[in-house]
């Protein structure tokens, strides 16, 4: 078996803040192979974006740093490097060329004073070494690929001429313009309305198949996960709490947090006394724990032991679970 | 776009009329009589009256104002009482040093302020940022006459690199003129760089955290290009505003520096006109400066549309 495209091993990310050092991400491990979509789900603030910025080498400097673990990436050349310790120049050469990223905010993620064509062509000239005209033609081709109608003309438009959905397509075109091996999509559809969301997801899935990319798909929407992911990694308070093939996770969740998340999906909404649909939510909120399981304060299955011993990420049958009681609860 | 400029020009005329009224009546409010001043202590009341009549100073104020406006409308700002020449001509003769002084000072101020502001924003909170902020504070608080005297003492007297004062002989070459202008421009450039530095820093800080800057980094382009093309390109509008403002202030306010360096510019002209109550010259100069202010503002507006496509529609 060849090494995976990306293997994050026991990652921790720390930030220096006025109140001292904080470590919002710790104990994150996950793997992605070519042609595979791995979804990372978790509530807002669970460390999904920080994990993806660490992978891109885009942690805010100088406050943020990888304080533990490795981010192994297999380059096109076949070498495997640790992105956490790679020199800046190497990261610059990788970004946009072998690893690309799309962000959550399509309205603000494009440069307002450059045309969308210029923004795509800039990356193409840099990484593929095309001249100006060839890069522009390639940009137009990419805009066509993401199904922007009349791409040749729209390439000369500025971002403010475009809707949110269009801009996210431009972001996708930009990210894929140099045929990266790995795409990180950080909540790419969260800011879009539902019909546009579905279109963008379908598009991403099609392009993933055509380019054979590995995709790290970050979302807090489990409905989206069911549609596109092969594997799912669930994060809670900066830790991976469960990781499993998508079908296993939906059919037989092992971690109490995953189970609670699934019960909160809109498709499982219940009707209240007056007949309104109510989406349940997990009671309580994320809080720092001194010791033991981070989820214990909100866990319906917690026992006193859970607040004493911190669970490890246990592997079993191609799945991983961070819960002291998962075997007895199964 | 053209309609927009047309509307702005109409507004500009209105502003100029108001400025004209203001400077006309304010200059007359100041005590002192140009005719009496010109003729000195020995003059008889009859002499003074004759001179007042010759310059129309005996007519009712409102009539004087209307007559002056009519003259202004023809492009002639009136006749100087002391200089024996039309105000427009007097202004044009002094315009060259003032204009070049303002432009060179602005260039120097921008050449200091913009890179300093960018560096300060990029390395926010680091020693370079602290050094830049400290120097900017110092520069903003140095009186320009004091810095002027220091520069003269050091670079003109001690090292002899530049002439001490003046603007050279009437037939001096452009290079000689440049030598005369260098020290005063450096003084005004240093003093005015402070504001530009602060504006550049603030406006860069606004955009450096923007999502599109992160996108630019995610493309793998070099940090220099991220800062200069993507961030600076979006920080330009406020920077252009402060450059325009600085230029306007320089054209109107280089009086002290012109005096220190003995430059025969507009500032000098105005100072002597004020001392002699040469109403037409004061009025004309103030009106001309106001017109240039307004035109610079209009130009800034037009430049906005060039650097920011969002302003274009
Ligand atoms: N620059 C930073 N400095 C300090 N803490 C940060 C910084 N960026 C993110 N964090 C912390 O990391 C946590 C996870 O954030 P994030 O990864 O954005 O969450 P998610 O993407 O899952 O919503 C947040 O709770 C936040 O407090
Ligand atoms: S370890 Fe205990 S508290 Fe944590 S998830 Fe499992 S059962 Fe709940
Ligand atoms: Mg996020």
List all residues 6 or more positions away from B48 whose beta carbon is below 8 Å from its beta carbon: B33, B35, B36, B39
**Confidence at residue A277, expressed as pLDDT on a 0 to 100 scale:** 62
Q: A residues 28-87 near B, CB within 8 Å?
A: 56, 58
Does residue A258 have a pLDDT over 90? yes
- A170 touching B (Cβ < 8 Å): no
Distance A220 CA to ligand 3 centre (A): 9
Output DSSP code: residue B155.
Answer: I
Among the partner residues A92, A94, A109, nearest to B215 by beta-carbon distance: A109
**Confidence at residue A287, expressed as pLDDT on a 0 to 100 scale:** 73
Pairing of strands A214-219, A37-41: parallel
B234 with A111: Cβ contact below 8 A: yes
Phi, psi torsion values for A220, nearest 5 degrees = -115, 15
Among the partner residues A92, A110, A158, nearest to B215 by beta-carbon distance: A110
Residues facing A40 on adjacent strands: A218, A233
**Confidence at residue A275, expressed as pLDDT on a 0 to 100 scale:** 67
User: Of A148, A310, A317, whose CA–CA distance to A244 is shortest?
Assistant: A317
> pLDDT confidence of A185, banded at 50, 70, 90?
very high
Give the tens place of pLDDT for each residue, A95-143. Answer: 999 999 999 898 999 999 999 999 999 999 999 999 999 999 999 999 9
Largest distance between two CA atoms of chain A:
67
Give the tens place of pLDDT for each residue, A53-78. Answer: 999 999 988 899 999 999 999 999 98
Does residue A270 have a pLDDT over 90? no
Residues facing A233 on adjacent strands: A40, A243
Please state, rounded to an integer, the average pLDDT across all residues of chain A. Answer: 90
Ligand 1, atom 7: nearest CA belongs to which residue?
Answer: A15
> pLDDT confidence of A254, banded at 50, 70, 90?
very high
Judged on CB neighbours under 10 Å (0-12, 13-18, 19+), B227 is buried
Helix B211-218, helix A164-176: angle, nearest 10: 20
Among the partner residues B211, B233, B234, nearest to A105 by beta-carbon distance: B211
Rounded to whole angstroms, how far apart are CA atoms A199 and A188? Answer: 12
**Confidence at residue A196, expressed as pLDDT on a 0 to 100 scale:** 83
Q: What is the CA radius of gyration of chain A?
A: 21
Rounded to whole angstroms, how far apart are CA atoms A115 and B178? Answer: 41
A96 with B218: Cβ contact below 8 A: yes
Between residues B284 and A285, the one the model is more confident about:
B284
Q: Is A37 within 8 Å of A217 (Cβ atoms)?
A: yes
Share of chain A above pLDDT 90, in %: 68
Output DSSP code: residue A2.
Answer: P
Rounded to whole angstroms, how far apart are CA atoms A7 and A236? Answer: 19
Does residue A280 have a pLDDT over 70? no
HSE-CB of A283 using CA atoms within 13 angstroms: 5
Substitution site in A303, A325, A327, A329 for ligand 2 pocket (most atoms within 8 Å of beta carbon): A325
Rounded to whole angstroms, how far apart are CA atoms B100 and B83? Answer: 24
**Confidence at residue A101, expressed as pLDDT on a 0 to 100 scale:** 96
- Which pair of structure tokens corresponds to residue A112? 């307002």
Q: End-to-end CA distance of chain A, in Å? A: 30
Does residue A1 have a pLDDT over 60? no
Q: Is B32 left (phi over 0), alpha (psi -120 to 50) or beta?
A: left
Which residues in chain B show pLDDT less than 50?
none
**Confidence at residue A34, expressed as pLDDT on a 0 to 100 scale:** 92
Between residues A288 and A159, the one the model is more confident about:
A159
User: Of A7, A5, A14, whose CA–CA distance to A68 is shortest?
Assistant: A14
Ligand 1, atom 8: nearest CA belongs to which residue?
Answer: A50
Which ligand places an atom closest to the C-alpha of A190? 3
Give the tens place of pLDDT for each residue, A190-207. Answer: 888 888 888 888 888 988
Give the tens place of pLDDT for each residue, A162-184. Answer: 999 999 999 999 999 999 999 99
Q: Which of B219, B233, B303 to mutate to test the interface with A (most CBs of A within 10 A)?
A: B219
Q: End-to-end CA distance of chain B, in Å? A: 8
**Confidence at residue B143, expressed as pLDDT on a 0 to 100 scale:** 82
Q: Is A243 within 8 Å of A319 (Cβ atoms)?
A: yes
- A89 touching B (Cβ < 8 Å): no
The dihedral built from the CA positions of residue B302, B303, B306 and B308, taken in this order, carries a sign that is negative
Distance A185 CA to ligand 3 centre (A): 10
Q: Is A170 within 8 Å of A146 (Cβ atoms)?
A: yes
pTM equals: 0.83
Strand A6-17: give its sheet, edge to edge: A20-32, A6-17, A64-74, A80-82
Rounded to whole angstroms, how far apart are CA atoms A183 and A275? Answer: 43
**Confidence at residue B82, expressed as pLDDT on a 0 to 100 scale:** 78
Q: Which of A29-43, A213-227, A305-319, B80-94 has the lowest mean pLDDT?
A: B80-94
Secondary-structure breakdown of chain A: helix, strand, coil percentages, each rounded to the nearest 5 = 35, 25, 40
**Confidence at residue B145, expressed as pLDDT on a 0 to 100 scale:** 82
> pLDDT confidence of A241, banded at 50, 70, 90?
very high
Q: Is the interface score ipTM higher than 0.85?
A: yes
From chain B, the residues in CB contact with A158 under 8 A are 309-310
In A110-150, which residue ranges form alpha helices assigned H by DSSP? 116-128, 132-145
């Amino acid at each position: 078996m060849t090494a995976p495209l990306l293997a994050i091993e026991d990652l921790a990310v720390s930030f220096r803040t006025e109140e001292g050092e904080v470590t919002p991400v710790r104990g994150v491990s996950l793997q992605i192979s070519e042609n595979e979509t791995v979804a990372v789900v978790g509530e807002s603030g669970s460390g999904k974006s920080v994990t993806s910025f660490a992978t891109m080498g885009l942690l805010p400097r100088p406050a943020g740093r990888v304080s533990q673990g490795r981010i192994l990436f297999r380059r096109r050349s076949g070498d495997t490097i640790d992105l956490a310790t790679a020199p800046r120049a190497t990261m610059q050469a990788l970004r946009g060329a072998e690893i690309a990223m799309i962000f959550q905010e399509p309205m603000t993620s494009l440069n307002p004073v450059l045309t969308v064509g210029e923004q795509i062509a800039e990356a193409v000239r840099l990484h593929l070494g095309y001249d100006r005209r060839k890069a522009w033609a390639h940009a137009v081709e990419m805009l066509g690929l993401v199904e922007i109608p009349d791409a040749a003309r729209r390439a000369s438009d500025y971002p403010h001429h475009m809707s949110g959905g269009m801009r996210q397509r431009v972001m996708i075109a930009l990210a894929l313009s140099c045929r990266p091996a790995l795409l990180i999509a950080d909540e790419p559809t969260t800011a879009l309305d539902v019909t546009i969301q579905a279109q963008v997801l379908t598009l991403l899935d099609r392009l993933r198949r055509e380019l054979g990319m590995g995709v790290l798909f970050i979302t807090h929407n489990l409905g989206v996960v069911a549609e596109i992911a092969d594997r799912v990694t669930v994060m809670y308070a900066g830790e991976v709490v469960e990781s499993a093939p998508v079908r296993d996770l939906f059919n037989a969740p092992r971690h109490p947090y995953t189970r609670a998340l699934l019960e909160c999906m809109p498709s499982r909404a219940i009707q209240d006394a007056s007949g309104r649909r109510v989406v349940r939510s997990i009671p309580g909120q994320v809080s720092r724990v001194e010791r033991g399981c981070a989820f214990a304060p909100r866990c319906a299955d917690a026992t006193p032991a859970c607040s004493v011993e911190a669970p490890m990420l246990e592997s079993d049958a191609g799945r991983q679970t961070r819960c002291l009681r998962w075997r007895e609860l199964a | 776009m053209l309609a927009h400029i047309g509307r702005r020009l109409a507004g500009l005329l209105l502003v100029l009329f108001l400025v004209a009224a203001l400077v006309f009546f304010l200059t007359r409010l100041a005590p002192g009589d140009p005719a009496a001043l010109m003729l000195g202590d020995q003059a008889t009341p009859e002499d003074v009256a004759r001179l007042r009549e010759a310059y129309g100073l005996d007519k009712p104020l409102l009539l004087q104002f209307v007559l002056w406006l009519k003259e202004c409308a023809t492009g002639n700002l009136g006749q100087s009482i002391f200089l024996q020449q039309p105000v427009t001509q007097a202004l044009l003769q002094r315009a060259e040093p003032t204009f070049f002084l303002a432009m060179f000072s602005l260039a120097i101020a921008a050449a200091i302020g913009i890179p300093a502001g960018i560096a300060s924003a990029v390395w926010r909170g680091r020693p370079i940022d602290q050094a830049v902020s400290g120097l900017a504070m110092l520069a903003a608080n140095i009186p320009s006459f004091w810095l002027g005297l220091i520069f003269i003492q050091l670079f003109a007297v001690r090292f002899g690199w530049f002439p001490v004062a003046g603007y050279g002989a009437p037939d001096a070459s452009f290079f000689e003129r440049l030598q005369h202008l260098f020290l005063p421009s450096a003084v005004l450039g240093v003093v005015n760089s402070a504001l530009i530095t602060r504006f550049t820093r603030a406006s860069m800080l606004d955009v450096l955290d923007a999502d599109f800057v992160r996108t630019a980094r995610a493309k793998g382009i070099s940090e220099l290009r991220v800062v200069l093309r993507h961030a600076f390109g979006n920080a330009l509008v406020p920077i252009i505003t402060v450059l325009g403002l600085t230029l306007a202030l320089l054209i109107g306010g280089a009086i002290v520096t012109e005096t220190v360096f003995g430059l025969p510019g507009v500032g000098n002209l105005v100072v002597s006109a004020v001392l002699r109550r040469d109403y037409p010259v004061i009025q004309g100069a103030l009106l001309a400066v106001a017109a240039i202010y307004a035109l610079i503002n209009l130009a800034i507006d037009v430049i906005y549309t060039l650097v920011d496509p969002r302003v274009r529609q």
